[in-house]
Amino acid sequence: MRIAFFDAKEYDKPAFLKYGEEKGLEFRFFETKLNPETAALAVGCEGVCVFVNDDVGKETLDKLYALGVRIVALRSAGYNNVDVKAAFGRIHVVRVPAYSPWAVAEHAAALLLTSVRRIHKAYNRVRDFNFSLNGLTGFDLHGKTVGVVGTGKIGRIFIDICRGFGMKVLAFDKFPAKDAGIDDVDLDTLFRSCDVISFHCPLTEETYHLINDESVKTLKKGVILVNTSRGALIDAEALVKGIKDRIVSAACLDVYEEESDVFFRDFSGHIVDDDTLARLISLPNVIIPSHQAFLTNEALDNIAQTTVENLDSFFKTGVPENELCYRCGRIEECKKERCGKCF
């Protein structure tokens, strides 16, 4: 079976080629992102494999369906870039619900430590043989309060890490984890009480711009924000204002709301048109990697293996593993409670 693989990077290929060969799948790798204009590249393919910044909206799905594509395989946990209603009845959508929650949680902790202890500044400074410690004073995480928004697998692992530092943990989740020993509070309490807030929730209509002009005003003065989930959880312009007003003391953003036109590409010899992103990068208390929280050898291998298994199960049995459920109205893994597949 032929699969059009969009937004392909060199680090994607080894594991996908290995597992694909085992299952008889032929991947056709394209560096370009999937969108209505590039959907034609999937001609002759039975499925497509996409990442977080590919456009899998209605127009794209219409074109894929007309080409004979019957499955979209997300190599990610998030799926906010997919119009699941437009896909229902025509194209099955599968995802990788968990590849390495440790990779993301550990990256969030690494960003937090880097910011708190000014490691990024020290690294750049000593490259100029400047060994002064002026301006590098940090603070202990021990005894501080961290707020965790989203207590799925990644959020709970991050909580364990923070507890290891001796931090007090408050958490908010619309569907709290049962018997997890987590102190659940409402979002307003979390915003007002926490020295550090880390986001580990999906992007939905309810979580869009959780940090905005109004909510910034409720944050505890001096808070550090960490986002390794989805960029649009934070209104970037509201964040800039919060930093200028000295409410937010630092931000660690592995993701960014308008990242699709910038992240995963080399703009070192060009001028980036996004003024908000340029402003954030210029701020000394903001750390912005390039959406790399998932990027470990273990995670890449798990992503490839699960994605290939999702595709293989569909082509061999017609019942795809890890299918998103649209029929019941809840966007979650289909439990196959009513029949073998969603449609």
189's tokens: 């309490």
309 membership: H or E segment, kind and range:
helix 297-317
Whether 136 contacts 118, CB under 8 Å: yes
DSSP state of 234: B
**DSSP notation for 201-212:** ----TTTTTSB-
Active site residue 291: yes
Rg (CA), the chain: 21
Active site residue 298: no
Active-site pick, 75, 95, 200, 291: 291
Active site residue 120: no
Q: Measured between alpha carbons, how far is 123 from 128 in angstroms, rounded to an integer? A: 9
Active-site pick, 46, 257, 259, 323: 259
Burial of residue 324 (CB within 10 Å: 0-12, 13-18, 19+) is buried
Q: Measured between alpha carbons, how far is 331 from 333 in angstroms, rounded to an integer? A: 7
Active-site pick, 230, 257, 321, 323: 230
Which residues, other chains included, contact 73 with Cβ-Cβ below 8 Å and sequence gap of 6+? 3, 47, 48, 49, 50, 94, 95, 307, 310, 311
108's tokens: 């969030």
Kindly report the number of other CB atoms within 10 A of residue 150's CB atom: 22
Active-site positions read: 230, 259, 291
